Amino acid sequence: MSADHEDILGAAAEWRRDGRGVALATVVTTWGSSPRPVGSQLVVDEAGAMLGSVSGGCIEGAVVSEAIEVIGDGKPRVLDFGVTNEQAWEVGLACGGKIQVFVEKVA
């Protein structure tokens, strides 16, 4: 589950030590085919720099802009992405799957 070569958590801690505002996005649920498994993570800073992934690149842009808001207000949130979920998100997954991403500010 945590065999990612990139050390996402290490980067999150390092960015915090540098005084940057940091958020962590984690895939918490998937339905159907999805490009990255549950537990995959993306770390984002306040300027939009990112490391890791929560999809094959389809939703990272949307996650980054939400993450910057989370860094601003400190409130964690759950984001739903999928081709069938039209009212909430314009961004879809080309693979036809659905995923749920939890975004939290790193203290």
Partner 1 sequence: MLESLIADRAAHRAVVLATELDTGRQWLVAAGTASAGTPGDVAVAARDALAIDDSRAVDLAGGRVFLHVHSPPLRMIVIGAVHITQALAPMATLAGYQVTVVDPRGAFATSERFPGITVSDDWPDDALEALAPDSRTAVVTLTHDPKLDDAALAVALRTEAFYIGSLGSAKNHRARTERIARLGFDEAAIARIHGPVGLAIGARSPAEIAIAILAQVIEARRRPARAGGAEGRAA
First to last CA, the chain: 24
Express the helix, strand and coil content of the chain in percent, nearest 5 each. Answer: 20, 30, 50
Q: What angle do CA 49, 65, 71 make, to 5 degrees?
A: 75
Binding map of partner 1 across residues 6-25, x = CB under 8 A, - = no contact: ---xx-xx--x---------
Separation between Cα atoms, residue 91 and residue 72, nearest integer Å = 22
Binding map of partner 1 across residues 62-101, x = CB under 8 A, - = no contact: -------------xx-x---------------------x-
In the block, residue with structure tokens 């649920």: 29
Decide: is 56 part of the binding site for partner 1 (CB under 8 A).
Answer: no
Least distance between partner 1 and beta carbon 31 (Å)? 12
Least distance between partner 1 and beta carbon 88 (Å)? 16
Q: Which residues bind partner 1 (CB under 8 A)?
A: 1-5, 9-10, 12-13, 16, 26, 28-29, 38-39, 75-76, 78, 100, 102, 104, 106-107
